[in-house]
């Protein structure tokens, strides 16, 4: 005979509640590098979160509190996250996920990083602002910032009034800016040189803000190769200022990063597993 205890419905754990909440509200997917993501949203707002990112943690910790009127513990969150990541990698669809810029069969795209998750579609007929299911999947880091909503009109004279670039070099700068929007090509490392006080940093910051505004548009010289790769993963346009010296190893690294390459490091808390970061990023640097 079954006891009364056996006939009682089992109480759902906090981890199971979070798993239920996420799977109800999200599509779990993985990219070609087998990184797990959650895609959520309603209507034309479609958000993309890396399952191991702070954005996912913040968003669904808040959603859990809204749903159950209590906080979820770190242990329960990690338990749920392990199950969700496995589901995304082994049961979810494999889809491309981009950072700031994307290339599809018929267009280039630039993520505006705004609250409506809109992107600019650029093709042979011009550009338009789009949102919703037709837009490629873009992930965002916490340091990425929004590009202002584009408007038609304007002239390049407005750009040259803001940055200090000689007339003979302006075509090169324009070509470099356009290449920064192409996700599928190798990149050139742009070095801005000039005398002290010639507005190199100001020019560099404006160029960065045009393509990939960030909470830290100008960053100091990296201390390690790991710093370069992690920073590059969390943005699109890599920007270092006041670079008086780079050791040969970091010079080689920037060349690899600009043309496309990978970095392998031991996975945290393991002895044998590797974490691979594979990137191809535009780069701008300037001396003191």
What's the pLDDT score for residue 91? 96
Contact 88, 56 (CB under 8 A): no
Domain closes at, from 44, 63, 95: 95
pLDDT, mean over the chain: 91
Q: Which of 161, 193, 188 is nearest to 257 (CA)?
A: 188
Q: Do 235 and 166 share a structural domain? A: yes
Domain closes at, from 44, 66, 95: 95
Domain closes at, from 95, 114, 138: 95
Residue 1, domain member (yes or no): no
What's the pLDDT score for residue 240? 95
What's the pLDDT score for residue 78? 95
Q: Do 162 and 61 share a structural domain? A: no
What global pTM score does this model have?
0.88
Contact 113, 145 (CB under 8 A): yes
Contact 208, 176 (CB under 8 A): no
Residue 263, domain member (yes or no): yes
Residue 109, domain member (yes or no): no
Residue 106, domain member (yes or no): no
Domain region containing 183: 154-285
What's the pLDDT score for residue 271? 62
Instruction: Give the per-residue SS3 of 180-215.
Output: HCCCCCCCCEEECCCCCCCCHHHHHHHHHHHHCCEC
* Residues 182-206 pLDDT 10s: 988 899 899 999 888 899 999 999 9
* Residues 238-255 pLDDT 10s: 999 999 888 999 999 999
DSSP, res 165: -
What's the pLDDT score for residue 270? 60
Residue 237, domain member (yes or no): yes
Q: Do 239 and 159 share a structural domain? A: yes
Tokens representing 28 are 């779990």
Q: Which residues pair with 120 in a beta bridge?
A: 110, 129
Q: Which residues pair with 126 in a beta bridge?
A: 123
Q: Domains in the chain: how many in total?
A: 2
Q: CA end-to-end span of the chain, whole Å?
A: 82
Residue 29, domain member (yes or no): yes
Q: Which of 112, 98, 256 is nearest to 184 (CA)?
A: 98
DSSP, res 220: P
Residue 128, domain member (yes or no): no
Residue 126, domain member (yes or no): no
Tokens representing 282 are 């535009």
* Residues 99-129 pLDDT 10s: 999 999 999 999 999 999 999 999 999 999 9
Q: Do 67 and 159 share a structural domain? A: no
The model's confidence at residue 41, banded by pLDDT at 50, 70 and 90, is confident
Q: Using CA atoms, how far apart are residues 68 and 72, in angstroms rounded to an integer? A: 9
* Residues 252-285 pLDDT 10s: 999 999 999 988 877 766 666 777 888 999 999 9
What's the pLDDT score for residue 264? 80
């Amino acid at each position: 005979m079954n006891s009364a205890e056996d006939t009682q419905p089992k109480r759902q754990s906090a981890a199971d509640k979070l798993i239920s909440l996420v799977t109800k509200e999200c599509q779990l997917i993985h990219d070609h590098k087998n990184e797990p993501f959650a895609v959520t949203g309603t209507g034309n707002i479609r958000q993309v979160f890396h399952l191991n990112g702070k954005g996912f943690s913040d968003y669904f910790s808040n959603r859990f509190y809204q749903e159950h009127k209590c906080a979820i513990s770190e242990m329960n969150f990690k338990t749920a996250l392990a199950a969700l990541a496995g589901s995304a990698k082994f049961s979810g669809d494999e889809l491309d996920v981009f950072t700031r810029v994307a290339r599809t069969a018929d267009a280039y795209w630039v993520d505006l990083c705004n609250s409506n998750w809109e992107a600019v579609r650029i093709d042979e007929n011009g550009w338009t602002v789009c949102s919703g299911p037709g837009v490629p999947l873009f992930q965002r880091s916490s340091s990425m910032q929004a590009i202002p909503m584009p408007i038609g009109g304007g002239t390049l004279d407005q750009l040259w009034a803001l940055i200090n670039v000689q007339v003979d070099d302006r075509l090169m700068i324009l070509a470099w800016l356009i290449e920064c929007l192409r996700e599928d090509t190798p990149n050139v490392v742009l070095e801005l040189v000039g005398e002290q006080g010639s507005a190199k940093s100001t020019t560099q910051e404006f160029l960065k803000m045009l393509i990939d505004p960030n909470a830290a548009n100008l960053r100091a010289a990296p201390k390690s190769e790991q710093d370069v790769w992690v920073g590059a993963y969390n943005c699109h346009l890599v920007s270092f200022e006041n670079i008086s010296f780079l050791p040969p190893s970091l010079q080689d690294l920037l060349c690899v990063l600009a043309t496309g390459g990978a970095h392998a490091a031991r996975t945290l808390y393991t002895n044998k597993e590797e974490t691979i970061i594979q990137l191809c990023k535009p780069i701008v640097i300037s001396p003191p």
